[in-house]
């Protein structure tokens, strides 16, 4: 076997061992070394040269990046996730169609990426990524979970989102689900503010998923200073009745009429 390849494989084994031991620092160090070594192979993207060991190298590189992605989830580094995922993507789209056998973790990682986009509220990119998936991919439970989550989020059925936390297809999703819970809480607070005139403290606590009244009070103090708490009820600030509806917005009307006059004059 090619000596470079052998070296990389050995290092990769050490990396996997460190991951199993949950030794994050060693993992990161070994990973950077692996990435540097990978640049030595010319069969990888973006060159995609056809060397004799191409398939082996491609598979190995793909495995390394998959582990890198999972590591970034473990340490909670979203930027690293994004970087590693972008490097992994060509292996799924370009290389797989021609030469490599499909990876077992492909769908899980694609689902993770969708979830990440959802958590970061990048819905446009979420949908763009969704377009790239084939119909077989959409049937896969990991991806289906993310898609349904997005739907419930859009519709506003937040309790469904929170209950979906119990039904994650794989454990690695937990990190993002926790982040999602926080986003959901902010959303629920926003909606309740507009929808309800007031809520009893116990109801508010239940809806916002706090385990005690104190947490609720602290949350209100920090995040929502406009809410008042009176006699066991949380009163949301009603929209200020604007008395200005009696006024005529003169500036706006003047601007509009002037523009009409100008345009009409232009008509020869």
Q: Of the ranges 2-10, 111-119, 197-205, 222-230, which one interacts with another protein (CB under 8 A)?
A: 197-205
Q: How would you label 128-146 residue by residue, b for 16+ Cβ within 10 Å and e otherwise?
A: ebbeebeeebeebebbebb
Q: Taking CB under 8 A as the rule, does residue 102 contact another protein?
A: no
Q: Taking CB under 8 A as the rule, does residue 260 contact another protein?
A: yes
| C-alpha to C-alpha distance for 133 and 114, rounded to whole angstroms | 11
Q: How far is the CB of 159 from another protein (least distance, A)?
A: 5
Identity of the residue, 1 or 124, whose beta carbon is nearer to another protein in the bound complex: 124
Q: In what order do the strands lie in the sheet with 198-200?
A: 198-200, 233-235, 228-230
Q: Taking CB under 8 A as the rule, does residue 123 contact another protein?
A: yes
- In residues, how long is the chain? 268
Among residues 1, 3, 101, 194, which is the contact residue for another protein, using CB under 8 A? 194
H or E element, residue 201? helix 201-207
Beta-carbon contacts of residue 184 (< 8 Å; ≥ 6 apart): 153, 158, 161, 162
Among residues 65, 91, 92, 158, which is the contact residue for another protein, using CB under 8 A? 158
Which stretches of the chain bind another protein, using CB under 8 A? 123-125, 127-128, 130-132, 135, 147, 151, 154-160, 163, 187-188, 190-197, 199-200, 203, 245, 249, 253, 256, 259-260, 263, 266-267
């Amino acid at each position: 076997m090619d000596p470079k390849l052998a070296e990389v494989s050995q290092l990769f084994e050490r990396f996997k061992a460190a991951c199993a031991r949950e030794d994050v620092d060693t993992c990161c160090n070994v990973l950077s070394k692996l990435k540097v070594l990978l640049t030595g192979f010319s069969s990888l993207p973006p060159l995609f040269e056809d060397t004799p060991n191409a398939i082996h190298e491609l598979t190995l590189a793909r495995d390394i990046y998959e582990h890198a992605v999972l590591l970034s989830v473990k340490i909670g580094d979203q930027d690293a996730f994004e970087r590693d995922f972008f490097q992994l993507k060509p292996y799924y789209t370009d290389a797989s169609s021609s030469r490599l056998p499909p990876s077992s973790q492909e769908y899980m990682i694609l689902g993770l990426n969708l979830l990440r986009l959802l958590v970061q509220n990048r819905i446009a990119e979420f949908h763009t990524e969704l377009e790239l998936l084939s119909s077989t991919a959409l049937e896969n439970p990991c991806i289906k979970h993310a898609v349904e989550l997005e739907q419930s989020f859009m519709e506003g059925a937040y309790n469904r989102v929170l209950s979906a936390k119990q039904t994650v297809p794989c454990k690695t999703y937990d990190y993002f689900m926790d982040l999602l819970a926080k986003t959901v809480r902010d959303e629920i607070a926003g909606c309740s503010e507009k929808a309800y005139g007031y809520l009893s403290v116990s109801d508010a606590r239940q809806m916002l998923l706090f385990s005690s009244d104190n947490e609720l009070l602290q949350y209100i103090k920090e995040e929502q200073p406009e809410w008042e708490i009176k006699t066991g009820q949380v009163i949301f600030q009603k929209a200020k009745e604007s008395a200005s509806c009696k006024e005529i917005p003169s500036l706006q009307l003047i601007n509009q009429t002037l523009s009409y006059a100008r345009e009409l004059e232009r008509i020869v």
